Amino acid sequence: MTITLLLIFVLITVGYNAYLFSMRRRKRIPSRQLVALQMILNMILVVWGVTYLFLG
């Protein structure tokens, strides 16, 4: 169950990061809220991944 949720969260985070990357490539500047959400999602992903790695 946990690995499934982690995989779903990884896919959501990767999709969101790709969306913001494509915005920047099209010379559109994302708002501060979008960048803050990206940072929060990435930090949650790092913490969740490291926790899963050590506590399995």
Q: Percentage helix, strand, coil, to 5, in the chain? A: 85, 0, 15
Beta carbons within 10 angstroms of residue 16's beta carbon? 15
Q: Is the pTM of this model over 0.85?
A: no
- Interacting residues of 23 by C-beta distance below 8 A, sequence separation 6+: 29, 30
- Interacting residues of 16 by C-beta distance below 8 A, sequence separation 6+: 37, 38, 41
pLDDT (tens digit, 0 to 9) for every residue of the chain, 56 residues total? 678 888 999 999 999 999 999 999 999 999 999 999 999 999 999 999 999 889 87
